[in-house]
Chains A and B, each alone.
Chain A
């Protein structure tokens, strides 16, 4: 019963759980890519951009919830990757290393925002610019509107929880990193990762639940 309720499969594994074992091929591909970048191979730079631009942007956007800031972070991340690829020691995977830089840059961006930009007003409003045009798949505009509202609702809730919790929730539930990879990215212990994931999910659940509860109705009561 519990299995069906929790969405577990016949092996007791939650549906959609990620196999966290890193294939050796990916590790070899990472090593080769790093070697080519160190040698100044132009195509290696293009390969790195093509492979990581979307995940890095997605992670930065989820951590900052602002497309402009996410774009700035992505540029900073790739600049650091290009300049420090010679110092990459292969103690972690390339993906983990780049994600670590992304999280750190998002931290810096957030700090900078609170110091300088919190009083600024953006001239360009481009929240829709990051969406691709969607072809007609038979769904009605009402369906799209509902999906969009639901997505905004979740994103806003995610943006309101503690950034420390948001990081682990995003890395685990959106980027689907393993606990070990998250510990490696955030440079924290495995126990801290487990604790933050639990508290982050609980915080997000609480936030969503609070937003879904009906507003108190104001009634006029005659004296």
Chain B
């Protein structure tokens, strides 16, 4: 292999783009030929110098322009695509439009709603709302007291003095016990017992369920002149 041929194929040799036989032949020649070896060294250094050149960085303005260009071309491509792509495109556009419209009012809306809830919570305890209820309504969340009702007039005269007795009433409205003051004579005691017999009681309720309880019943004498 002579020097002229070596110089013609030296680039391919340095790039390892030669067959094995030609590569070995070139290596042998370069090991003995000083001029070709020097030339090869110069080309090697030239390659390393070129590879050592710093990469040029595009200006930031160009990157922004490319992004704008990409956005336009994407819209253009989508607007000319299939029906499905077109539908997706318009859905996306509408979503963006909705978000752009809603975003400015989202914070005022949330602030107004929070303020309204706060003020309402502050005002509710002070409001005197009218209680609307029917005669057949059963209180469901409260305690009620026992009530007494006299169905018929007792067939006897009654009680010359004022007296207060304590009755114990079960959940069926029946009197299971009564407490009469000690100073009451036996006749009055009998009158009180008779009166209790002629009286019906409604039991107290707890959350609408009848329960047993105690009640005080006051007997009073009323004097009518004439």
Binding site for B on A (CB under 8 A): 1-3, 5-7, 12-14, 16-17, 39-40, 42, 45-46, 48-49, 53-54, 57-58, 61-62, 67, 70-71, 74-75, 78-79, 82-83, 86, 126, 129-132, 151, 154-155, 158, 169, 172-174, 176, 179, 194, 197-198, 201, 204-205, 208
- A130 cross-chain contacts in B, Cβ below 8 A: 56-59
B1-33: CB near A (< 8 Å → 1, else 0) gives 000000011111011110000010001001100
Q: Are A53 and B58 within 8 A (Cβ)?
A: yes
Known A75-B69, A174-B53; 12 more pairs at CB < 8 Å = A2-B31, A2-B37, A13-B16, A48-B70, A58-B56, A79-B73, A130-B58, A169-B50, A173-B47, A198-B12, A201-B43, A201-B46
Q: Are A173 and B50 within 8 A (Cβ)?
A: yes
- A49 cross-chain contacts in B, Cβ below 8 A: 63, 66-67, 70
Give the size range of B's interface with the partner.
35 or more
Task: Report the Cα distance A137→B71, complex, angstroms.
Answer: 39
B21 CB to nearest chain A CB (Å): 13
Among B74-82, B124-132, B203-211, the stretch that binds chain A is B74-82
Closest residue of chain B to A190, judged by CB? B17
**Contacts A16-B51, A39-B85, A53-B63: A194 and B12 contacting too (C-beta < 8 A)?**
yes
Q: Are A78 and B31 within 8 A (Cβ)?
A: no
- A62 cross-chain contacts in B, Cβ below 8 A: 56
Q: What is the predominant secondary structure among interface residues of chain B facing chain A?
A: helix
**Contacts A12-B27, A46-B70: A57 and B57 contacting too (C-beta < 8 A)?**
yes
B64-105: CB near A (< 8 Å → 1, else 0) gives 011101110110011001000100110000000000000000
Question: Per a CB cutoff under 8 Å, which of B43, B62, B71 touches A57?
Answer: B62
- A70 cross-chain contacts in B, Cβ below 8 A: 56, 58
Q: Are B51 and A173 within 8 A (Cβ)?
A: yes
Sample (13) of A-B pairs whose CB atoms are under 8 Å apart: A1-B31, A5-B30, A7-B44, A14-B16, A16-B47, A45-B74, A54-B58, A82-B69, A172-B15, A173-B51, A176-B51, A194-B11, A197-B12
Task: Report the Cα distance A16→B40, complex, angstroms.
Answer: 15
Q: Are A5 and B40 within 8 A (Cβ)?
A: yes
Question: Per a CB cutoff under 8 Å, which of A75, A83, A131 touches B57?
Answer: A131
Name, among B10, B58, B67, the residue most crowded by chain A CB atoms within 10 Å (CB to CB).
B58
A140 CB to nearest chain B CB (Å): 18
Q: Are A14 and B74 within 8 A (Cβ)?
A: no
B32-45: CB near A (< 8 Å → 1, else 0) gives 00000100111110
Task: Report the Cα distance A160→B188, complex, angstroms.
Answer: 139
Q: Are B49 and A57 within 8 A (Cβ)?
A: no
Q: Are A154 and B57 within 8 A (Cβ)?
A: no
- B58 cross-chain contacts in A, Cβ below 8 A: 53-54, 57, 70-71, 74, 130
Q: What is the predominant secondary structure among interface residues of chain A facing chain B?
A: helix
Q: Are A75 and B65 within 8 A (Cβ)?
A: yes
Task: Report the Cα distance A165→B58, complex, angstroms.
Answer: 24
- A42 cross-chain contacts in B, Cβ below 8 A: 71, 74
Task: Report the Cα distance A16→B49, complex, angstroms.
Answer: 12
Q: Are A2 and B30 within 8 A (Cβ)?
A: yes
- B49 cross-chain contacts in A, Cβ below 8 A: 154
Q: Are A201 and B11 within 8 A (Cβ)?
A: yes
Task: Report the Cα distance A19→B168, complex, angstroms.
Answer: 105
Q: Are B53 and A208 within 8 A (Cβ)?
A: no
- B9 cross-chain contacts in A, Cβ below 8 A: 198
Question: Per a CB cutoff under 8 Å, which of B8, B12, B15, B42 touches A205?
Answer: B42
Closest residue of chain B to A45, judged by CB? B70
Interface membership of B48, Cβ < 8 A: yes
Interface membership of B55, Cβ < 8 A: yes
Q: Are B48 and A155 within 8 A (Cβ)?
A: no
**Contacts A40-B81, A74-B58, A130-B56: A198 and B16 contacting too (C-beta < 8 A)?**
no
Q: Are B81 and A14 within 8 A (Cβ)?
A: no
Closest residue of chain B to A86, judged by CB? B77
Q: Are A54 and B57 within 8 A (Cβ)?
A: yes
Task: Report the Cα distance A208→B89, complex, angstroms.
Answer: 56
- A83 cross-chain contacts in B, Cβ below 8 A: 73, 77
Question: Per a CB cutoff under 8 Å, which of A1, A151, A173 touches B54?
Answer: A151
Rank and list the top 3 A-B pairs by shortest CB-CB distance, nearest first: A82-B73, A45-B70, A57-B58
